[in-house]
């Protein structure tokens, strides 16, 4: 039975993440957005806070107390840190999006080999390379290839929009062993940084999440050991495609939680502005209209949060959650645009103070949440296929 009450360990994790957002993120948020750079001190502070000995031990104990509800713990932290700055939250050292496919498809030996170094006290990142030019959200249409040559796989192809792609120690790269097989040919491979033929292309210039690094990755006869194929959990022909989809089922609620965090920040800031800075002489009936709109937005933020929690709750219990993951991401992704746009509109009469600068930044940041991890159209397609399995939906 799902509970809407957080346990002590969950509440503690949420409060800790909020303190990180207040102390480490908000103070540098606008400057990092302006310069598109993050100071090295932030990375080291995050490594100490989340991967240092005491922090790692506390996180492990908390998860054990709550039956290792890793997805719930992650999204509680993600919402709070997105409240601080979503771009900075994506830049925190750690395996990141590389972790889900390694944990779900890797053997115990692979998990130790690829994830063990993240506990050595140094700065390490991980990334997931799935999206390609020309295919976008159509994972089954990917063209990056992997050919077995003796004891090595040879990768050739092009990935783009890869978060932390240029700084990551490992990149879990999805490629096809045979383009004629469609989704049945897809496999996940771990490509270490510095591998010959693994080339970092351009770093994208973006409208929002400007401090977050988004890279182009190119594979030109990139050779990796045969043992870097993640295939330890399932041997079916569709195992690779299922790994890709399973990763998205785990990460889409996380994206939804980031969107909820930004939406909450925008709602709170707009409400504060209305209470403290609304120009004198503003008509009472107009104020009431604004207050009613803000109350509706508050309710919708709560609804988005519960959709996210449900999807993560199911993931922690290994309950298939493709529909619920897509619902949470689609709803939260649309809502964050609605809330930030309302904030920019409502505060338009005021001077361009810090609150308005944050609202403008969050408005720009919000757009990508309707796009990455699968566009809103793709989410609706996933939902429709599961609501109407008897209908052949292309």
DSSP letter (8 states) at residue 157: E
For residue 118, the Cα-to-chain-centroid distance in whole angstroms is 19
DSSP letter (8 states) at residue 372: T
The 3-state DSSP composition of the chain as helix, strand, coil percent (nearest 5) reads 60, 15, 25
| Best CA proximity match to 186, nearest among 101, 96, 97 | 101
Residue 373 designated active-site: yes
Instruction: State both tokens at 354.
Output: 């810090």
Per-residue burial over 260-273, b = 16 or more CB atoms within 10 Å of its CB, e = otherwise: bbbbbbbbebbbeb
Distance, first Cα to last Cα, the chain? 35
User: At 235, which helix (H) or strand (E)?
Assistant: none
Q: Are 14 and 59 in contact (CB under 8 A)?
A: no
Distance, CA of 380 to CA of 201 (rounded, Å): 32
Q: Are 297 and 267 in contact (CB under 8 A)?
A: yes
Distance, CA of 349 to CA of 338 (rounded, Å): 19
The set of long-range contacts for 147-154, using a CB threshold of 8 Å and a minimum separation of 24, is 147/177, 148/177, 148/226, 149/223, 151/225, 151/226, 152/223, 152/224, 152/225, 152/226, 153/189, 153/223, 153/224, 153/225, 153/226, 153/228, 153/229, 154/221, 154/222, 154/223
Distance, CA of 244 to CA of 130 (rounded, Å): 8
- Of the candidates 79, 132, 216, 373, the residue annotated as catalytic is 373
User: At 176, which helix (H) or strand (E)?
Assistant: strand 170-176
Catalytic residue ranges: 373
């Amino acid at each position: 039975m799902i509970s809407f009450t957080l346990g002590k360990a969950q509440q503690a994790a949420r409060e800790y993440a909020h303190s990180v957002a207040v102390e480490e993120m908000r103070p540098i948020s606008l400057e990092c957005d302006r310069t598109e750079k993050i100071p090295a001190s932030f990375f080291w502070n995050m490594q100490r806070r989340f991967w240092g000995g005491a922090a790692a031990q506390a996180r492990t104990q908390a998860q054990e107390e709550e039956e290792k509800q890793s997805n719930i713990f992650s999204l509680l932290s993600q919402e709070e840190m997105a409240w601080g700055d979503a771009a900075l939250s994506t830049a925190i050292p750690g395996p990141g999006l590389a972790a889900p496919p390694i944990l779900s498809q890797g053997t115990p030996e692979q998990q130790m080999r690829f994830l063990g170094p993240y506990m050595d006290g140094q700065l390490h990142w991980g990334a997931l390379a799935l999206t390609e030019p020309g295919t976008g959200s159509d994972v089954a249409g990917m063209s990056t290839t992997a050919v077995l040559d003796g004891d090595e796989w040879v990768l050739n192809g092009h990935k783009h929009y890869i978060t932390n792609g240029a700084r990551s120690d490992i990149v879990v790269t999805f490629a096809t062993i045979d383009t004629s097989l469609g989704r049945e040919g897809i496999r996940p491979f771990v490509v270490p940084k510095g591998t010959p033929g693994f080339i970092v292309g351009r770093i994208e210039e973006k409208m929002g999440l400007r401090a977050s690094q988004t890279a182009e990755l190119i594979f030109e006869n990139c050779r990796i050991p045969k043992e870097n194929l993640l295939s330890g959990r399932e041997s079916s022909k569709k195992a690779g495609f299922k790994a890709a989809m399973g990763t998205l089922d785990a990460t889409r609620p996380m994206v939804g939680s980031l969107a909820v965090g930004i939406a909450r920040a925008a709602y709170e800031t707009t409400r504060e502005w209305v209470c403290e800075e609304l120009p004198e002489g503003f008509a009472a009936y107009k104020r009431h209209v604004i207050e009613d709109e803000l109350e509706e937005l508050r309710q919708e933020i709560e609804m988005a949060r519960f959709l996210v929690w449900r999807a993560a709750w199911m993931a922690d219990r290994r309950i298939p959650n493709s529909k619920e993951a897509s619902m949470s991401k689609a709803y939260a992704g649309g809502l964050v645009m609605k809330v930030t746009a309302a904030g920019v509109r409502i505060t338009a009469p005021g001077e361009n103070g810090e609150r308005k600068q944050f609202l403008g930044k969050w408005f720009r940041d919000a757009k990508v949440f309707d796009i990455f991890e699968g566009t809103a159209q793709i989410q609706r397609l996933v939902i429709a296929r599961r609501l109407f399995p008897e209908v052949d939906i292309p």
